[in-house]
Amino acid sequence: MNEGNELMLERAAHLQLLDLEDRRAELIADDPTLTELEITYDLIEADIQTTLQSIRDRRIARAVHNAGRTADSALIARIAQAESSAQEELHHHQEVVILATLAIRYP
C-alpha cells in the first residue's frame, strides 16, 4: 500500500470513529437493546483502531527500512517518537470527543 492510500484509509478510519461517536450519542439510555448495540459499537471501534495501528506500524516499518539504508538510528528514534506522540494526541482528542458526547447526552 502506498503512502497516499494509507493517508486516505487513515482519514476514512478517523471519520468512521467520529461517526461511531455520533451514533453512540444517539443511544437512548432506557433502550433494552442498548447493551448489544454498545457491544457492537465497541467491536467496530476495535476494528477501526486495529486498522489505524496497522497503518502506524506500516509507516514505522517503511521508515526503518528507508533509514536502514543510511543506518541512522537517531532518525528511527525521532520517527518512532513522532508516531508515539501522534498516537497520544489522537487518544486525547478521542477522549475529549467522548467526554463532550457524554456531557451532551447526560447534562
Q: Domain map of the chain by residue range?
A: 3-105
Which H helix or E strand runs over 58? helix 34-68
Cell reading at 88: 497520544
Look at 33-37, 41-45, 80-84, 87-91 and tell me which has the smallest mean pLDDT: 33-37
pTM: 0.59
- Across the chain, mean pLDDT equals 84
Residue with cell 455520533: 22
Alpha-carbon dihedral sign for residues 26, 32, 38, 40: negative
* Contact by Cβ (8 Å): 82, 63: no
Q: Summarize pLDDT for 5-19 with one digit per residue, the tens.
A: 999 999 999 999 999
The CA distances from residue 73 to 36, 70, 106, in Å, are: 47, 9, 49
Q: Summarize pLDDT for 58-82 with one digit per residue, the tens.
A: 988 888 877 666 656 777 788 888 8
